[in-house]
Structure 1
Amino acid sequence: MGALQTIVDFILNDLGAAVFVPALMLIIGLAMRMKFREAFISALTLGIAFSGMSLLIDYMMDSMGAAARALTENTGISLPAVDGGWPGMASISWAWPYAFLLFPLTIGINIVMLVFNLTKTLNVDMWNVWNKIFTAVMVSYISGSVIWGFAAASIQIILELKAGDVWGLEVERLTSIPGVTVPHFVTLINTLLFPIDELLKKIPFFNKPMDADALKEKIGIFGENSVMGAIIGFLLGLASGYGIAGSLQLAVQAATALTLFPMVSKLFSQALSPISEAISEFMRKKFSGKKVFIGLDWPILAGRNELWVAVIITIPVLLVMAIILPGNKVLPFAGIINLSFVVGALLLTNANLGRMIFHGIVSAPLFLYGATYFAPYITRLANETGAATVAEGSLLSWSTFEGPDIRYLFSTAFSGNITGIILLIVWIGLFYWLYQSKKKYNAQIESE
């Protein structure tokens, strides 16, 4: 067990996604009979793409996040739970004593499902195993059983793979990268957003094309990526008390990020297209054309500027909600950039900016109340593992808590709560509806 934990720690913490995922893709490429030179160049380019996108995301999070936090501080509101954001949650999750066991569990379930044709997704996004760990910890704390924690994490792994199956074609459309998908936990928020989205599509305003290209045609220069970024950055700077000079600097920073994101995203296509073609050819010869998606982390979608426009516009909404919602204990700070709704909303709405923003607004209370509910358990995990020290009377949480709905239902259902069990069954029913709807939609697209 100790040797396994050492290996897992080395792969995930020492190598990191920018090294581990390309190395894994090199192995996959060679297994698919690619020439070493082509497989190596593709893998190296993928590492460059991950590194470049990581730099841009950090740049955006630093500049926009600092402004958003200044906006928070300007409110003068004090709430008891400290917002540690997702990096803090990932850190304390890996410190859980049983964390390393989720690594082979994730791989094992994926392999079994592939062998028995229960999924088309080969998930190589091993960094986000921490999300499964986090679920296992929360459920084990609330239910009092580590076994139930692992059971919930296993269900999550299956749901993520099934989600990856149905989002593959949409990821390809949005990124122009064939054969990849995003089996990320954040896409499961679409289970609750899907019924709302179906209603919104019946409203003429929300049913019109409203992606970046459509906006450019309708509003001209104001639809350009750089101009949209500059306007949003400037307004956020003013609201955050930056003054004219600081706001102009933030405007240029936002314009820079929104201009460079699509450029860097092209590296993913350049890296993954040859591997995807090799996999398709291998599957055609060996398995009668069986299709397999390579599951990657959500940053392959970060080149879509609709994602960033929607998430920045909803920052003030999240802050206002935190102030006015009764019973909320979390003031958005480190996690104020709400990636927990926007990745799923991008896929669900076909990059319709109007519906994405609407989903960000209506889902804000869900994230805040989820963060409030789990704050005592997150605090317990931090103190027990020593990953962080939270003073008596204080709480640690995450304002844009990923999957607050399904994690709450897992925790209550596995605790024997009848209402929780019923609601979990309802949630799974909604997921099945979403899955079948997208499966039918994908079949129509492929037949055209």
Structure 2
Amino acid sequence: MDLLQQIFQYVLDLGAAVFVPLLMFIVGIAAKMKWKEAFSAAVILGVAFIGMNIVIGFMLNALTPAAQGLVERTGIELNIIDGGWTSLATLAWAWPLAFLMFPLQMAVNAVMLIINKTQTLNVDLWNVWGKILTAVLVIGVSGNVVLAFLVAAFQMVIELLLGDVNQKQIEKITGIPGVTVSHSMMIFGAFLLPFNWLISKVPFLDKHVDADTLKERIGIFAENHVMGFIIGLLLGIVAGYSVQATLTLAVQAATALTLFPMVAKLFMQALSPLSEAVSDFMRKKFQNRQLFIGLDWPILAGSNEVWVAMIILVPITLIYAIILPGNNVLPFAGIINTSLAVPALIITGGNLLRMILLGIVTTPIFLYIATGFAPTITQLARDTNAVNIADGQLLSWSTLEYPVFRYIFADASSGSILGIFFGAVWIVLLVVYYRMMKKRTEALKKEEEVA
């Protein structure tokens, strides 16, 4: 058992930038690609992951001090530390049974493919830590290990089903055929569903406004570099920066928004030949079967709407943290809310205006659930000694991925009647979301046939 744990841990310790390209190289060879082409595509995919991490890290380093400056100007003190995803991942991997989640995910995916209940091959195995974290949170609330694995397995099934129905929308946004996003953050789309529907019924908010639409209407001010500069400039001003620091932040934000689409093109360059090879292989071996390659969310990073929405939501998140009664978490490490922007991109079809409105409406949910989970997360950190926390402080993650799912099912696992009730409501929302995206898929297919 220890040897098996060491093998899985070694593989996962390679990181997404090495592990996923290695897995994709194996998939490419299995799909009869020439080894030189498979190797080249795998290396470019690794470059894309590293490049995206560099740009995201650059943007975080620029924006986090500005966020801190804004909070310091208010003089507010909140006692829950925002450890971000890295602290929570460390906590997840400290669980003694964490290594079992890796083979469980592969088994669930294999069974779903064999019985033809999914078309998604999830190669985003590095993010298995997200399922581990869900299990750890369930144990922290209920103490039930069996239920923890069952909830995690349920999450795995959902991410495969969503990978299927979101695929056509993702292909439209990325321009990469045969790929989808199998990251569990897409689960939040089910919670966004009723809010998105309500917003779409408001006059003047039912129109599609994306980055291209803005360019048509306001010209140069909707260009990535100009838009980034303006947003950075405003952030610097509200943070109380000097003129020099404000201008530097503005140029840094402009740089980030300019580089994101450039780096995202590398994903297309790497994944298109791999996707074509897998599609050809499936057509030859299995009639009428199509296989989608499930990947991490950065393949969507070329969408300008994602970054504009996330940066605009930074000051909004901080204002909420300051004014919301009952919130005790101070957003820092998780200040860039991909957990919201990415599923919002999909459910709105890239409607920037609606993405921002969804962010304004639902950001409080992230802060309140981060506050609610803080005692559980802090206790788990102390029990495992995975993260050091000073006395009197608590640990959480301000933009915890798919917070509603995790909170409801952790609560339900403890036998809570309310948790079970809301779990049933959430499943209904998931079914409605699934059917809606299935209809959208059919509509997009018809558009392709007409074209």
Q: TM-score, normalised by structure 1?
A: 0.98
Matched, 1:54 2:53: yes
In 2, Cα distance between the equivalents of 1:253 and 1:394? 33
Residue type at the aligned position of 1:265: A
Quote the RMSD (CA, aligned, Å). 1.2
C-alpha contact 1:140 1:147 (8 A) present in aligned 2:
no
What does residue 376 of structure 1 align with?
375
What does residue 435 of structure 2 align with?
436
In 2, Cα distance between the equivalents of 1:389 and 1:40? 41
Residue type at the aligned position of 1:227: V
What does residue 281 of structure 1 align with?
280
In 1, Cα distance between the equivalents of 2:68 and 2:164? 37
In 1, Cα distance between the equivalents of 2:263 and 2:322? 37
Q: What SS class does the counterpart of residue 436 from structure 1 fall into?
A: helix
Matched, 1:271 2:270: yes
Q: What SS class does the counterpart of residue 127 from structure 1 fall into?
A: helix
In 2, Cα distance between the equivalents of 1:60 and 1:319? 17
In 2, Cα distance between the equivalents of 1:316 and 1:332? 10
Equivalent residues in 2 for 1:18-417 (5 A)? 18-417=17-416
C-alpha contact 1:69 1:336 (8 A) present in aligned 2:
no
In 2, Cα distance between the equivalents of 1:117 and 1:246? 56
C-alpha contact 1:72 1:333 (8 A) present in aligned 2:
no
Matched, 1:12 2:12: yes
In 2, Cα distance between the equivalents of 1:129 and 1:276? 22
In 2, Cα distance between the equivalents of 1:401 and 1:53? 21
Residue type at the aligned position of 1:68: A
Displacement of 1:289 after TM fit?
Answer: 3.1
Residue type at the aligned position of 1:6: Q
C-alpha contact 1:183 1:297 (8 A) present in aligned 2:
yes
Q: What SS class does the counterpart of residue 122 from structure 1 fall into?
A: strand
In 2, Cα distance between the equivalents of 1:352 and 1:95? 39
C-alpha contact 2:19 2:126 (8 A) present in aligned 1:
no
Displacement of 1:182 after TM fit?
Answer: 0.8
Q: What SS class does the counterpart of residue 117 from structure 2 fall into?
A: coil
C-alpha contact 2:233 2:247 (8 A) present in aligned 1:
yes
Residue type at the aligned position of 1:407: R
Residue type at the aligned position of 2:436: S
In 2, Cα distance between the equivalents of 1:258 and 1:220? 17
Q: Which moved more, 1:4-13 or 1:30-39?
A: 4-13
Q: What SS class does the counterpart of residue 207 from structure 1 fall into?
A: coil
Residue type at the aligned position of 2:176: I
Q: What SS class does the counterpart of residue 128 from structure 1 fall into?
A: helix
Residue type at the aligned position of 2:138: V
In 2, Cα distance between the equivalents of 1:219 and 1:129? 43
Residue type at the aligned position of 1:361: I
Deviations 1:206-240 (A, max 9, x none): 22221111110010010101100000011101111
Deviations 1:184-219 (A, max 9, x none): 121111111112212222334222221111110010
Deviations 1:327-363 (A, max 9, x none): 1111112212222111110111111111000111111
Displacement of 1:446 after TM fit?
Answer: 1.0
Residue type at the aligned position of 1:214: T
Deviations 1:350-398 (A, max 9, x none): 1111100011111111111100111011111211111112233221111
Deviations 1:44-88 (A, max 9, x none): 111111111111111111112222222223221111111111111
Q: TM-score, normalised by structure 2?
A: 0.97
In 1, Cα distance between the equivalents of 2:273 and 2:288? 17
C-alpha contact 2:104 2:153 (8 A) present in aligned 1:
yes
Displacement of 1:444 after TM fit?
Answer: 2.0
Residue type at the aligned position of 1:235: L
**Structure 1: any 5+ residue segments left out of the alignment?**
none
C-alpha contact 2:186 2:342 (8 A) present in aligned 1:
yes
Displacement of 1:38 after TM fit?
Answer: 1.1
Residue type at the aligned position of 1:376: P
Residue type at the aligned position of 2:282: M
In 1, Cα distance between the equivalents of 2:416 and 2:297? 33
Residue type at the aligned position of 2:35: F
In 2, Cα distance between the equivalents of 1:392 and 1:151? 34
In 2, Cα distance between the equivalents of 1:267 and 1:442? 26
In 1, Cα distance between the equivalents of 2:197 and 2:76? 37
Residue type at the aligned position of 1:337: I
C-alpha contact 1:322 1:331 (8 A) present in aligned 2:
yes
Q: Which moved more, 1:339-348 or 1:315-324?
A: 315-324
In 1, Cα distance between the equivalents of 2:410 and 2:325? 23
Residue type at the aligned position of 1:17: A
In 2, Cα distance between the equivalents of 1:228 and 1:5? 47
Residue type at the aligned position of 2:319: V
Residue type at the aligned position of 2:327: N
In 1, Cα distance between the equivalents of 2:126 and 2:240? 37
In 1, Cα distance between the equivalents of 2:424 and 2:273? 41
Q: What SS class does the counterpart of residue 293 from structure 2 fall into?
A: strand
In 1, Cα distance between the equivalents of 2:345 and 2:66? 24
In 1, Cα distance between the equivalents of 2:354 and 2:81? 30
Q: Sequence identity, in percent? A: 56
Residue type at the aligned position of 1:363: T
Residue type at the aligned position of 1:316: P
Residue type at the aligned position of 1:88: S
Residue type at the aligned position of 2:444: I
**Structure 2: any 5+ residue segments left out of the alignment?**
none
C-alpha contact 1:164 1:182 (8 A) present in aligned 2:
yes
